[in-house]
Amino acid sequence: MQFSKVQGEKKQHKVVLYALSTCVWCKMTKQYLKDSGVEYDYVDIDLCTEEEKQKIRQEIQNKGGPLSYPTTIIDDKVVVTGFRKDLLKETLGL
Amino acid sequence: MTPITIEQVRKRAEADARTYGYHLVSDPDLLQGLLDGLRVNEERYGYPSCPCRLASGNFDYDRDIICPCDYRDPDVAEYGACYCRLYVNTDVYEGKTPLPTVPERRPVEKQSRAFGPATPSAETKPAATAEEKEEHVQIGPKLWYCKQCGYVVFREEPPYICPICKAKREMFAEIKTRIDFIG
């Protein structure tokens, strides 16, 4: 699966972002995490192959996430859907 | 085919907002980002599907999320903005109410189609799927008519504003139909 890593000095949490390349709210989430210095992995699902999409769907649903974007999964358990600065801030301790 | 420009996408959205009594979101960066997403999708799929939803590339599967999507009217009526927040109502546009967070109204089974050929995974709970399907059937489209001008529409909910005479949603009433078989 084509996850891209964005480097940051805050590595205490495992942050995975499921995004769409066309989605402005996903872009804002990426920017916010980057500006906050959080290290995270993201994938733009609309640019994936059919096989990858299927795998990603299972992965998101196994973690109890919805199929809407952006969905940020923190430490494999906290699911934040949408660009929710308040929730991201709280969960990541920013 | 000449590539579509953001300006064309903007003009189309503005015209549609005017027709339905909505506005385009006022934040210029947000608006630009949304319009650009629509432009990319139109180039990619041949139709402007919602930039904030995963499209399948199959027109029949994506029909409900082609902007303006089927969920815009109920979302603007309930929350003041559509799912991606391109279209907003007057209060949100004028800043009287903040830009809301809009939950996804599109049924999960429709969202799932975008993830490729449906091979039900082992993780899918059959009971939940059956329930969802049943619920979806119950919602189904109905016939509505505008008591002011007579405009008739076949959809889940009446439009927020009548596209013909601009009457408000309250002016819409359901047309009850009954089919009798005799003999």
State ipTM.
0.91
Is pLDDT above 80 for B123? Answer: no
Is pLDDT above 50 for B120? Answer: no
Q: Tell me which range, B37-46, B67-76, B138-147, is most confidently predicted by mean pLDDT.
A: B37-46
Please give the C-alpha separations between residue A60 and each of A71, A91, B37, B52, in angstroms, as whole numbers: 9, 19, 23, 17
CB pairs under 8 A between A and B: 67
The predicted pLDDT at position B124 comes to: 42
Is pLDDT above 70 for B130? Answer: no
Residues of A with CB under 8 A from a CB of B: 20-27, 45-46, 50-51, 53-54, 56-58, 61-62, 66-69, 82, 84
Q: Which residue has the tokens 């016939």?
A: B143
Map residue A51 onto helix, strand or coil: helix
Mean pLDDT of chain B: 86
In this predicted model, what pLDDT tens digit does every residue of B68-117 receive, in sequence order? 998 898 899 899 999 999 999 999 999 999 999 999 999 888 888 888 66
**CB A61 to CB B123 under 8 A?**
yes
Please give the C-alpha separations between residue A5 and each of A18, A39, A41, in angstroms, as whole numbers: 12, 7, 4
User: B52 and chain A: CB distance < 8 Å anywhere?
Assistant: yes
Is pLDDT above 70 for B122? Answer: no
Q: Note the pTM of the prediction, 2 decimals.
A: 0.78
Is pLDDT above 60 for B138? Answer: no
Is pLDDT above 70 for B1? Answer: no
In this predicted model, what pLDDT tens digit does every residue of A17-71 receive, in sequence order? 999 999 999 999 999 999 999 999 999 999 999 899 999 999 998 998 899 999 9
Tokens of A57: 């769907």
pLDDT band of residue B41 (cuts 50, 70, 90) is very high
Chain B contact set for A68 (CB, 8 A): 52-53, 104, 111
Rounded Cα distance between B101 and B108, Å, is 19
User: Cis ω on the peptide bond leading into residue B3 (within 30° of 0)?
Assistant: no
The predicted pLDDT at position B23 comes to: 97
The predicted pLDDT at position B35 comes to: 97
The predicted pLDDT at position B112 comes to: 86
- Distance from the Cα of B156 to chain A's closest Cα (Å) equals 22
Q: Quick check: A20 and A26 in contact, CB under 8 A?
A: yes
Nearest to B86 by CA among B140, B143, B17: B17
In this predicted model, what pLDDT tens digit does every residue of B143-177 receive, in sequence order? 999 999 999 999 877 887 788 887 888 899 999 88
